[in-house]
Amino acid sequence: MTLSPLDDHPVHQSPEVMRHVATSDRNFYDRYYFNCHAGSGELMLIVGLGQYPNLGVTDAFACVRYRDLHRVVRASRELGDDRMDTRVGPFRVEVIEGLRRLRVVLDPTEHGLSFDLLWEGTIPATLEPRHFVRWQERVVFDSSRLAQTGRWTGHITIGDERVEVTPDRWQGSRDRSWGIRPVGEPEPPGIQARNAGTFYWLYTPVRFDDHAILCIVQEDEKGRRVLEEAVRVWGFGSAREGEEEYLGRPEYRPVYRDGTRDVREAVISFAPPGGRPFDMRCVPLLPVHLMVGTGYGLEADWRHGMYQGPGPVVQGVTHTLPGDAAVMWGLVDAVGRFEYDGHVGHGLYEYWALGPHPSFPGD
């Protein structure tokens, strides 16, 4: 057993040192996710940093979509003993004030993307429902996640161009998730090969003037709900600060571009118990293919938690659109415009419709 500075804090949850998590499952992870945008189609930056204690790896990525550019910087190193050390090569995340303010940094490298950004939450960090999925008797997802909308201050540099980020315009959402999900080097599929491979997913944390709406929908190949959430959370400084309002079972109706599963608009319907039902309309403004170059599983040589050596190993990936459109595949994180009952907001419109689903008859 190896001690670390975190062991000096009264935070233990098991009779182990903090470096050792309570499960020996190889797929245990602990990750930050952030997005930054101006509520428009001009730019979207997505940043992630994760630790994989049972794989002995920590890694990070940043992905920017700017004009015709899709650029990724990614880094990996051995995790070591100190899980309080979030540095991964040029990346780091600093918790300035827990659940309120964080600093996210990518120092300059030869890969043409850097930033120094301060996050400030505009609603209380909100715990989502437990995400639990068992396939062919194996637990493949068992995780917790908090979500928060907020605003940004700092700068982003893309090539030779510096973008000033001010909180009057630049906003986004973040999450912190931890638990079990598929990570690291691929495992022999065995009986898991029988899995239909469906991932029908919607995730929309949306910021309005004095509140946010957080919505999740996940369904299997038969249209059964695997996970759902619909809450309205009132922001800091509002008359109802911190109040959480349950909005009932969300109903999701996307409209796809002809011959594709690319969403051009959508309606999400809510029916608060004892309240008035309402529809929230969404239009994606800037799609970012989150899985391209970032480690979510498309590239055989770089996956979250995959051992790349002692490190730090730092790499860059650049694609230009529309020329490289053929490689843009998988989960989409889009800047979205949302509207309901006279309220206009912006946020993350994350979706994927992979595999069979009742909404695609005849596939």
Nearest to 122 by CA among 213, 211, 34, 245: 211
**Euclidean distance between CA atoms 254 and 322, whole angstroms:** 24
- Can you list the domains of the chain with their CATH numbers? 27-187+194-354 (2.40.370.10)
The reported pLDDT for the residue numbered 191 is 84
- Please check whether residue 53 is in contact with residue 20, taking contact to mean a CB–CB distance below 8 angstroms: yes
Task: Please classify residue 269 by burial: count the beta carbons closer than 10 Å to its beta carbon, then call 0-12 exposed, 13-18 middle and 19+ buried.
Answer: middle
The reported pLDDT for the residue numbered 193 is 78
3-state secondary structure of 184: coil
List 292's β-bridge partners, or say none: none
The reported pLDDT for the residue numbered 1 is 59
The reported pLDDT for the residue numbered 189 is 83
The reported pLDDT for the residue numbered 363 is 57
Residues 6 or more apart whose Cβ sits within 8 Å of residue 345: 206, 207, 208, 209, 212, 213, 337, 338, 339
**Beta 69-78 vs 57-66: how paired, if at all?**
antiparallel
**Euclidean distance between CA atoms 230 and 248, whole angstroms:** 6
**Euclidean distance between CA atoms 230 and 249, whole angstroms:** 7
**Euclidean distance between CA atoms 217 and 200, whole angstroms:** 8
The reported pLDDT for the residue numbered 196 is 64
Residues 6 or more apart whose Cβ sits within 8 Å of residue 28: 21, 52, 53, 54, 178, 179, 180
- How would DSSP label each residue in 136-149? TTEEEEEEEEEEEE
Nearest to 185 by CA among 20, 35, 303: 303
Q: What is the pLDDT along the chain (363 residues), one digit of tens a residue?
A: 588 888 999 999 999 999 999 999 999 999 999 999 999 999 999 999 999 999 999 999 999 999 999 999 999 999 999 999 999 999 999 999 999 999 999 999 999 999 999 999 999 999 999 999 998 888 999 999 999 999 999 999 999 999 999 999 999 999 999 999 999 998 888 887 777 678 999 999 999 999 999 999 999 999 999 999 999 999 999 999 999 999 999 999 999 999 899 999 999 999 999 999 999 999 999 999 999 999 998 899 999 999 999 989 999 999 999 999 999 999 999 999 999 999 999 999 999 999 999 999 765
- Indicate the pTM of the whole model: 0.96
**Euclidean distance between CA atoms 214 and 195, whole angstroms:** 29
3-state secondary structure of 166: coil
The reported pLDDT for the residue numbered 322 is 95
Nearest to 174 by CA among 115, 244, 243, 125: 125
Measured between alpha carbons, how far is residue 353 from residues 197, 293, 343, 346 in Å? 10, 20, 28, 22
Nearest to 175 by CA among 227, 127, 220: 127
Sign of CA dihedral 127, 128, 129, 134: negative
List 139's β-bridge partners, or say none: 134
